[in-house]
Structure 1
Amino acid sequence: MTTPHILYGMAGSLYTGKVRAYMRQNHIPFVEHKAGSRRFTEQIVPKVGRWIIPVVETPEGELIQDGTVILDHFEANGASVKSIYPQTPVMRAVAHLFELFGGEGLLRPAMHYRWNFDDVNLPFIRDVFRDVLPNGLDPEAQKAVFDHASGRMRKAAVAFGVTPETFTTVEESYADFLGRYNAHLQQTPFLLGGHATIGDFGLFGPLYPHLARDPKPLHLMQTTAPRVFRWTERMNMPEIFIDEEAERVGDKLFADDEISDTLKSLMYFVAEEYLGEITAHVEFANDWLEKNSEVDPSKMRLGRGIGMTSFNWRGHEITTAVMPYRFFLLQRLTDWIEGLDGPDQQSVRALFAETGLEPILDLKTSRRVERKNHLEVWAD
């Protein structure tokens, strides 16, 4: 009998969701342990160096932390039934774009719709958060721990730019995205064709655990974007579901010259929604690095954020947390572009220029972000 992997996570966790979906799609045997378990707290957290999910423990006892790193581990070991990385220059660049945008650019609606509708969501969320509570707590202790954890998450929502002044705009922006993605999924079962790519898994993080499970946004998605909801179900399925539309598309990804208007529309949305933010974050990081140029990078424990910076978003001047992990994901896009030959680079740049996104291809921090011992660190 095959020894299964262990996935430590939480049903409502954005980053756990994409790992669980990948493992299901690719028939990787696993059992899921809640992150509040004694084993996770006493044995796994000390080895990882901080309380963070998801973590995968292999049958050999190796620990792998971070959703993207976990997916890369499995991909490199031949676990993917279909590679999650397109092999053509343009589609690979688009996949990395949505890997970044999905995991980091949709945090405002994900956090807003979870934490600002307590009258609808709170009973469900309280129950979901049992996954991260230690076993054996009495009801009063459970409430105290939940209140503390949810308080931290509500502060995080503010750090992503979700404030009373922006609530309406967050909702309008998310409705815009749902409409565009729903239109795109009328033509294709997945973002880039017949099977899921790293772009799908990036989008799935916020769009399923937060926005297709919590009661308020679930109703919104089901009633206004049913194709997006069906995509979240398809992403969670271990079996392949085929209908007439899927048979028409097949299991292959689009070719580089098959960029539909609906996919371009989604890219336009990323330019409007996220380009200003990631640009401001890179500028802040480079200024921060210059001011700290005398410090040994190996002694900089980055944590989740290095500061706050402001920029204009849909008519609001908002301030958000600058998180080095975003630069780790951004590098995957810019590294891919730099590795292409001249004509292939030109093809990618032409599409990104047409959709207002070419500047993102040249965004770089003056020091690279690497991951060592389950942490983000500045490269030497």
Structure 2
Amino acid sequence: MEVSNNYNYSIREHKFTIWFFRSLIFITLMVLVLVFTIKINESVTISEGEIIADNPQKDLKAPFDGQLQAILTREGQSVDAGDTLVIIINRELEAQKNQVDNELAYLKARAKTISELRSSLRTKLNTYASSTRISSQKLALDTQLLERHMEMTAYQAELMNSRLQSAKEKYEGDSILYHKNMLSKYEFNDARDSYLSLKESIVQLEDESMTYGGEKQLARNAYEKMENELILGKLELEENLNTLHQTEIELENQIKQAEATYTQLTKDLALQYITASEKGTVNFLFNTKLSSNLILKGDLLVSIAPETSNYYAKVSVPEKELPFLEKGLRARLKLNAFNQYGFGTLEGTLDFIAERKENELYYAHIKLPENNDLTLRPGYAVRGEIILKRMSIYQVFIKKIFNKIDGS
């Protein structure tokens, strides 16, 4: 009986051993399969970092010295983009603007006067040209008329010279006859008077011809004198026009400078209305109870915390891991402000890697999704990992061994 019991016990023990080793071999094979088939993340550990808003707090400072005129908001109030928050005034700038405005009006009036004067001088210059043309035409007409008179006088003188020759021959013949008492004294005197009359007429014609020639020269001299006077007047007008043109150019430059100054002063005075550049909440406001209403340039007037849902994480990365980092890698972040078991991790994408150290550390930016279930705030501390790639368990194990060896 005892032999049977021992035999049965040996059979059960043998079967247990067989099944134990089978189970051990199966588990070993499963572990090997899992080691070679299951992939896990190879990652860069992020030990520290913080949440930063894309739109930081906006500090609105005084653009110039002035006096506080009105405060149209209060701390904690929500404001929209374009809302006027504070109004400051600068009497000196306003006085400068009024002065430049008056100076601009004076310069424009003077420029208009000079333009009208130039137009008048150009009209007068055109009149001088017309006068020159008229004088030239008058000289041509007078010269033509006098030349005709001279031609007619010369023609008459030529005819009278022919008659004078006949009268002279008759006078000489009658003189001989008169001295021989062959002709009466009356007829002799008549022949002599005719001869002398013709001679006198010829002398008069010669005098007229000389007079016409003199008048022709006088007309030429008068024309040249008038032409010289017109040229001198024209040169004087052109000189005056050039002077006025230079003055007009100087005035145009002064007007441009005054307009630029006026535009700049207008822009500066427009800055007296301190407005919100975007929607947000006022978290600081200039306190008039602690100071006077006098504002100095650069004084902080209003600070606005923008209402934004765009954030990124600025994280420190190990220097030895920098060669493996590249833009577009996924990252998983855990926020100290939230329990990751209850809220989960925050997914992001690596989009910036610094090329130099900051405070002895390299850093990177991880872009966060705009819409997430966590209410983020600038300054929240984070930790986590940047996923490089998927690796088998044995590859990770081998890499860690080599890293340990390199580290030692």
TM-score normalised by length of structure 1: 0.14
Bigger RCO of structures 1 and 2 (CA < 8 A, at least 6 apart): 2
Which structure shows the bigger proportion of residues in strand conformation?
A: 2
TM-score normalised by length of structure 2: 0.13
Indicate the structure (1 or 2) with the bigger Cα radius of gyration. Answer: 2
